[in-house]
């Protein structure tokens, strides 16, 4: 709603509760809690605070009614009359208030990400307007902003939305597979950003900033366990070695057995076994010079599926091409697309491709071996045979049938060296050097092996 946009907080509400309701008009500088109370007066709704930047609307008397919510509301009401705390971003390659940036940008601190339960890049679409995300075949994903994304089925395609790590562009990245680890903030810039971020920023930019070492000792450890053998843990430690040199280490682990079932092999698939490690060091010998070095590693080795279960409405093939009417089922099958457009909610969507036109089926039918006195040459498959004829998929979307289980291996390393020197109070020299290496292997990507190394040096 408009209030959430102006106050820069997340407001969630069930549409059935707000349909047909109109709140009171409120203007002026007010604490967030008081402004919400005035807006909701007479609507039979109340605001329930789950954090400083997260609010949900509930019917009066039906919320959690926890003491923490009351305390948060009281804390917000005793604030100085201000709408929102200032947020500093680097969307234009320099530190400035988000209110001064002439770009459609959404910025999320670590606290905001935790309050909204955003644990990875693929979940940003739940909090950023005009954004959609889908996982395509093979290793590609489609992160779209304002309808512009990358729909190419290719691991070597350049994205239309640039992905950056601490202002370093990453053509090959695992931001949408790994989970956030010790994040400072995430910025999403909507609209073309080619001037500052290059040609792969046609639709916008997703920029993730890690927490860097600081002068104070800090540590964190959290872990959780669940069904399907689920284990998740994260740790962080920040150690100041001297007054001007600090180091920081963070690590995360996620393991989970698959909850998809392969009926052909009678195995569980689509599990997770991934880890992230980040080591960083910072040196600030004077107030005019700053340097930091970052290494981040992501690794995965599990049976992750490349995408969700694929449905298919069988395509029997065209009945006419130009003025020529096709009556032969074999010729129709050769010209078939395998699957045709159809409703995902129809029973026909659980069909299988028309295999007559598949190259491997045609090749098997054309190859011959042996000799029979009565039939002559003997083929492995009779030409025109559809091996999938009569086969119907299970309507359970967590159930597949394949002769091999998926396998997914990935390793991604990013090295980054940043130098900053304040030449004058109004001019700073910045040097950013980065090296990135990415590798993945998947049985579902036709045994594809991709190794990509990128080296960049940027100064301004």
Question: Which of 7-16, 33-42, 196-205 shows the lowest mean pLDDT across its residues?
Answer: 7-16
Please give the pLDDT value at position 82: 38
**Exposed, middle or buried: residue 123 (CB in 10 Å: 0-12, 13-18, 19+)?**
middle
Pick the closest to residue 185 from 171, 168, 159, 165 (CA basis). 165
Model pLDDT for residues 416-434, shown as the tens digit of each residue: 999 999 998 888 898 989 8
Tokens of 188: 């999403």
Backbone angles phi, psi at 254, to 5 degrees: -135, 125
Please give the pLDDT value at position 78: 43
Q: How far is CA 13 from CA 17, 55, 56, 62, in A?
A: 7, 9, 6, 13
**∠ CA 398-402-406, rounded to 5°:** 80
The residue ranking higher by pLDDT, 235 or 440, is 235
The residue ranking higher by pLDDT, 236 or 187, is 236
Q: What percent of the chain has pLDDT over 70?
A: 72
Pick the closest to residue 312 from 284, 340, 271 (CA basis). 340
Please provide the CATH number assigned to the domain covering 2-77. 3.55.50.30
Please give the pLDDT value at position 445: 47
Q: How far is CA 256 from CA 230, 269, 270, in A?
A: 4, 10, 9
**∠ CA 185-85-76, rounded to 5°:** 115
Please provide the CATH number assigned to the domain covering 88-210. 2.170.130.10
Query: CA–CA separation, 236 vs 184, rounded Å?
Result: 13
Model pLDDT for residues 38-96, shown as the tens digit of each residue: 777 767 677 776 655 677 777 776 554 443 443 434 444 444 443 445 566 666 666 66
Please give the pLDDT value at position 196: 78
Please give the pLDDT value at position 264: 87
Query: CA–CA separation, 363 vs 355, rounded Å?
Result: 12
Q: Are 279 and 249 in contact (CB under 8 A)?
A: yes
Instruction: Write out the H or E segment, with its range, that includes residue 332.
Output: helix 329-334
Instruction: Report helix, strand or coil for 71.
Output: helix
Instruction: Report helix, strand or coil for 368.
Output: strand
Q: What is the mean pLDDT of the chain?
A: 78
Q: Which residues contact 223 (CB under 8 A, 6 or more apart)?
A: 231, 232, 233, 234
Pick the closest to residue 55 from 12, 113, 5, 1 (CA basis). 12
Give the model's confidence band at 350: pLDDT under 50 very low, under 70 low, under 90 confident, else very high.
Answer: very high
For the cut 50, the answer to whether the pLDDT of residue 452 exceeds it is no
Give the model's confidence band at 97: pLDDT under 50 very low, under 70 low, under 90 confident, else very high.
Answer: low
Query: CA–CA separation, 34 vs 49, rounded Å?
Result: 13
Please give the pLDDT value at position 102: 66
Query: CA–CA separation, 434 vs 418, rounded Å?
Result: 9
Query: CA–CA separation, 12 vs 207, rounded Å?
Result: 25
Domain boundaries, the chain: 2-77, 88-210, 313-392
Whose tokens are 């500052």? That residue is 196
Pick the closest to residue 302 from 259, 275, 273, 266 (CA basis). 273
**∠ CA 317-351-325, rounded to 5°:** 10
For the cut 50, the answer to whether the pLDDT of residue 25 exceeds it is yes
Give the model's confidence band at 367: pLDDT under 50 very low, under 70 low, under 90 confident, else very high.
Answer: low
Backbone angles phi, psi at 280, to 5 degrees: -145, 155
Instruction: Report helix, strand or coil for 346.
Output: coil
Pick the closest to residue 330 from 386, 384, 388, 390 (CA basis). 384
Give the model's confidence band at 446: pLDDT under 50 very low, under 70 low, under 90 confident, else very high.
Answer: very low
Positive or negative, the Cα torsion across 336, 339, 342, 345? positive
Please give the pLDDT value at position 61: 60
Q: What average pLDDT does range 143-151 have in this prediction? A: 80
Q: Is the pTM of this model over 0.75?
A: no
Q: What percent of the chain has pLDDT over 90?
A: 24
For the cut 70, the answer to whether the pLDDT of residue 250 exceeds it is yes
């Amino acid at each position: 709603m408009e209030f959430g946009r102006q106050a820069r907080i997340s407001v969630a509400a069930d549409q059935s509760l707000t349909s047909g309701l109109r709140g009171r008009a409120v203007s002026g500088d007010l604490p967030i809690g008081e402004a919400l109370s005035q807006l909701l007066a007479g609507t039979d709704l109340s605001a329930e605070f789950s954090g400083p930047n997260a609010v949900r609307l509930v019917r009066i008397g039906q919320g959690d009614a926890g003491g923490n919510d009351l305390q948060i509301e009281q804390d917000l009401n005793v604030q100085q009359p201000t709408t929102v705390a200032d947020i500093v971003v680097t969307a234009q390659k320099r530190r400035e208030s988000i209110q001064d940036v002439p770009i459609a940008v959404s910025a999320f601190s670590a606290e905001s990400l935790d309050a909204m339960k955003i644990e990875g890049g693929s979940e940003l679409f739940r909090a950023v307007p005009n954004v959609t995300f889908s996982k395509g075949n093979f290793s590609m994903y489609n992160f779209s902003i304002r309808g512009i994304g990358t729909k190419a089925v290719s691991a070597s395609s350049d994205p239309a939305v640039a992905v950056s790590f601490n202002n370093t562009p990453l053509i090959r990245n695992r931001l949408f597979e790994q989970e956030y680890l010790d994040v400072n903030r995430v910025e999403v810039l909507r609209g073309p950003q080619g001037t500052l971020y290059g040609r792969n920023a046609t639709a916008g930019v997703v920029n993730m900033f890690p927490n860097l070492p600081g002068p104070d000792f800090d540590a964190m450890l959290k872990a959780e366990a669940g069904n399907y053998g689920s284990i998740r843990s994260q740790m962080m430690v920040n150690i100041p070695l001297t007054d001007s040199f600090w180091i920081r280490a963070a690590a995360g682990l996620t393991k989970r057995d698959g909850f998809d079932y392969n009926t052909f092999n009678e195995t569980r698939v689509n599990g997770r076994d991934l880890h992230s490690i980040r080591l960083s060091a910072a040196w600030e010998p004077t107030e005019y010079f700053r340097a930091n070095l970052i290494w981040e590693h992501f690794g995965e080795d599990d049976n992750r599926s490349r995408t969700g279960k694929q449905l298919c409405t069988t395509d029997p093939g065209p009945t006419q091409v130009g003025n020529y009417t096709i009556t032969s089922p074999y010729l129709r099958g050769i010209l078939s697309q395998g699957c045709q457009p159809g409703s995902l909610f129809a029973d026909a969507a659980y069909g299988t491709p028309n295999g007559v036109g598949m190259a491997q089926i045609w090749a098997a039918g054309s190859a011959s071996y042996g000799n029979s006195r009565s039939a002559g040459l003997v083929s492995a498959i009779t030409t025109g045979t559809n091996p999938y004829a009569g086969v119907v998929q299970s309507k359970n979307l967590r159930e597949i049938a394949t002769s091999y289980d998926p396998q997914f291996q990935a390793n991604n390393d990013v090295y980054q060296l940043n130098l900053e020197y304040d030449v004058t109070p109004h001019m700073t020299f910045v040097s950013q050097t980065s090296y990135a290496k990415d590798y993945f292997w998947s049985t579902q990507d036709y045994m594809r092996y991709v190794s990509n190394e990128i080296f960049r040096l940027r100064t301004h």
